């Protein structure tokens, strides 16, 4: 039995009791019945909206699945054309590959000795050891393991903290 049907049955019972609306108790029971009727209508409306949103989410999930299939299809291994267990396993993706928390990274500024272009680097880029200059494609290498702070004084290649 649906909620609206239950409320209609309850309303019929209350009407059958012939409650005296002039007494305090009668007024309270009639008012409670009216509030409950409004709540039932409100809940029915909410349930209808939830059903629509659920259907929409299912459609979006299917569409997203199709987009993921198209996107990740190019990343399957060439030998099996995507039919092996390792291609189907989403756990192979390295979550650290996409670092979206760049707000806390410290940036360093270097100047390319060939073209003079200023480049901003984060600690991860410096730890990799080298990078090609985006302007002239010159290979810039970073090996600071054996250097001291005195070695940086007066040099243009010194990383400056931003």
Q: How confident is the model at residue 77 (pLDDT cuts 50, 70, 90)?
A: low
Specify the pTM. Answer: 0.40
Please provide the DSSP assignment of the chain as one string.
--HHHHHHHHHHHHHHTT--TTSHHHHHHHHHHHHHHHHHHHHHHHHHHHHHHHHHHHHHHHHHHHHHHHHHHTTS-TTTTT-SHHHH-GGGS-GGGS---GGG--EEEEE-TTT--EEEEEHHHHHH-EEE-TTT--EEE---TT--HHHHTT-TT--EE-
Average pLDDT over residues 102-116: 78
Q: What is the mean pLDDT of the chain?
A: 79
């Amino acid at each position: 039995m649906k909620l609206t049907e239950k409320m209609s049955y309850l309303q019929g019972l209350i009407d059958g009791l012939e409650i005296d609306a002039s007494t305090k108790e009668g007024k309270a029971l009639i008012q409670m019945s009216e509030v409950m009727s409004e709540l039932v209508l409100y809940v029915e409306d909410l349930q209808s909206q939830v059903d629509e949103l659920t259907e929409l989410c299912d459609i979006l999930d299917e569409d997203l699945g199709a987009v993921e299939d198209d996107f990740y299809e190019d990343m399957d291994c060439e030998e099996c054309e995507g039919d092996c267990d390792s291609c189907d396993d989403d756990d192979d993706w390295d979550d650290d590959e996409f670092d979206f928390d760049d707000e806390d990274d410290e940036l360093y500024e270097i100047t390319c000795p060939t073209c003079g272009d200023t480049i901003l680097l984060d600690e991860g880029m410096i730890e990799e050891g080298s990078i090609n200059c985006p302007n002239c494609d010159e290979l810039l290498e970073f090996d600071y393991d054996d250097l001291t702070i005195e070695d940086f004084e007066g040099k243009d290649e010194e990383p400056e903290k931003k």
